[in-house]
Amino acid sequence: MGSGQKRNRVLVPEAQKALYDFKHEIARELGVAQNVQGDYWGNVSSRENGAVGGNMVRKMIAFAESQLASNAQAITNQPLTGNTNARNPAGNQPMS
Task: Say if residues 32 and 48 touch (Cβ distance below 8 Å).
Answer: yes
Per-residue pLDDT, 94: 52
**What is the spatial distance between Cα 67 and Cα 79, in angstroms, rounded to a whole number?**
16
**What is the spatial distance between Cα 33 and Cα 79, in angstroms, rounded to a whole number?**
36
Per-residue pLDDT, 7: 75
Per-residue pLDDT, 84: 59
Model pTM above 0.75: no
Per-residue pLDDT, 60: 93
pLDDT, averaged per 10 consecutive residues of the chain (96 residues), comes to 68 90 95 91 94 96 88 68 57 52
Query: The dihedral of CA 68, 71, 72, 78: what is its sign?
Result: negative
Supply φ then ψ for residue 70, to 5 degrees. Answer: -85, -25
